[in-house]
Structure 1
C-alpha cells in the first residue's frame, strides 16, 4: 500500500505546481510577447538498498512554447513586433545579455532606448541613445532612423541598429524575470535574417481556452489523488483490524 502512497502523494504535490504554472500562463494571456510554459509528469524510481519497487512523480518543465503570437497593429513609432522566429537583445543592470519578444519600447529620461521593464535595448555597439526633438522610425532590419521635428527638418540620421538574434531554441532558458538567456550565459550573435514589423506588437501565445481546460483537469486529478490516499488509509485500518483478530 505504501507504493500507492508514494505515487498519490507526489502526484498531488506536483499537480499543484503545474496548476500554479497554468495560472501563471493565464495571468499573462494579455502580456506582450509572452511565451507559455510547458510541463509534463514522469515517474522516477525510489532508489534504495533493495530493488527499486517504489516510484514517485516528478513535474518536469520541458521548456517553453515558442509558437509566435498574434500581431496587432498599434501605429506607435516605438512599437515593434518580430515576424517569425527571433529575439530582441537587451542589456540588464549587471551588464549581461537577455532576450525578449516584447517590442513595446520607450525612451528613458536620458534618451536611451529601453523596454517597458527598463532594460536597455542593445545595438551594434551597445545601448542606443536617441537625441531629443526627433521622430523615430524602426526599419525591418532594426535600423533606428531619426528626423528632426523642428521648423527646418534635416536629413534622416541613422543612430544604429537593434541587435536581433535567433539562437537555437534548445539553448535558451527562461529566467525568473521572464527574460530568456543562453544556457551558458554567453552573448548571441546578431542574425540579419530576423525581421521586425514597425508600429505593431506581438501578443501572448497562451491559449486561454486550453489553459482553462487544463485548470479544470488538474483540479479533478488532485481530487483523485486525495481519494486514493483516503483509500490507502482505510485499507491500512482494515488490515490492522484483521491482524489484531488473527493475533
Structure 2
C-alpha cells in the first residue's frame, strides 16, 4: 500500500507545482514579450537497500517556450519588437547580461533607456543613456538617433545602438526574474542578423485558452490523486480490521 502512496502522493505534490507554473503563465498573458514557462514530469526510483520497488514523481522545469507572440503596432517611438529570432540585451539586477523580447522601452529621469520592467538596455559600451532631445528614432538595426533640443528638423545624431543577440535556443535558460541568460552566464556577441520593428510590440506567447484547459485538466488530475489516496487509506483500514479478526 505504501507503494501506491509513494506514487500518488508525490504525483499530487508535483501536480500542484505544474498548476503553479500554469497559473503564472496565465497571469502573464498580457505581459509584453513574456515567454511561457514549461514543466515536465518523470519517474524517479527510490534507491536504497533491498529491491528498488518504490518510485515517485518528479517535476522538472524544462525552460521556456520560444515561439513568438503576436506583433502589434503602437506607433510609439520607444516601442520596438524583435523581428524573428533574437533578443534585446539588458542588464540584470545582479549586473550580468540577460536577454528579453520585451520592447516597451522608456527613459528615466537620468536619461537611461530602460525596459518596461526597469532593466537597463545595453548598447555597444554598456547601458544606453539618451540625451535630452525633441525627437527620437530607433532604426531596424537598433541604432538610436535623436534630434537635439534647438536643432533643425532634419538634424539627427546617433547616440547609441541597442545590442541585439541571436544565441541558440538550447543555450538559454530562464531565470526567476523572467530574463533569459546563457547556461554559462557568459555574454553573447552582438548579431547583425537581428532586426527590430519600430513602433510595435510583441505580445506574450501564452495561449490563454490552452492555459485555461490545462488548469482544468491539472485540477481534475489532482482530485483523482486525492481520491486514490483516500481509497488506499480505506483499504489499509479494512486490512487492519481483518488482521485483528484473525
Q: TM-score, normalised by structure 2?
A: 0.96
Residue 150 (str. 1) matches residue 150 (str. 2): yes
Structure 1: 5+ residue stretches without partners: none
* C-alpha displacement of 1:151: 6.4
Q: Structure 2 matches for 1:51-130, cutoff 5 A?
A: 51-130=51-130
For residues 118-172 of structure 1, the C-alpha deviation after alignment (integer angstroms, 9 at most, x for no partner) is 2111111112221113311111111111123536335211112100011111111
Distance in 1, Cα, partners of 2:160 & 2:151: 25
CA contact 1:41–1:58 (8 Å) conserved in 2: yes
Q: Secondary structure at the match of 2:121?
A: strand
Distance in 2, Cα, partners of 1:217 & 1:46: 28
CA contact 2:132–2:149 (8 Å) conserved in 1: no
* C-alpha displacement of 1:83: 1.1
Distance in 1, Cα, partners of 2:94 & 2:179: 14
CA contact 2:34–2:102 (8 Å) conserved in 1: yes
Q: Secondary structure at the match of 1:4?
A: helix
Q: Structure 2 matches for 1:95-244, cutoff 5 A?
A: 95-148=95-148, 150=150, 152-153=152-153, 155-244=155-244
Q: CA RMSD in A?
A: 1.2
Distance in 1, Cα, partners of 2:89 & 2:187: 9
Distance in 1, Cα, partners of 2:124 & 2:102: 19
Q: TM-score, normalised by structure 1?
A: 0.96
Distance in 1, Cα, partners of 2:146 & 2:31: 29
Q: Secondary structure at the match of 2:155?
A: coil
Instruction: Give 1:49's aligned residue.
Output: 49
Structure 2: 5+ residue stretches without partners: none
Q: Choose 45-54 or 73-82, whichever is displaced more.
A: 45-54
For residues 64-104 of structure 1, the C-alpha deviation after alignment (integer angstroms, 9 at most, x for no partner) is 11000000000000000001111100113432111111000
For residues 168-221 of structure 1, the C-alpha deviation after alignment (integer angstroms, 9 at most, x for no partner) is 111111111111111111111111101100000000000011100000001100
Q: Secondary structure at the match of 1:218?
A: helix
Q: Displaced runs of 4+ in structure 1, greater than 4 A?
A: none
Distance in 2, Cα, partners of 1:153 & 1:75: 20
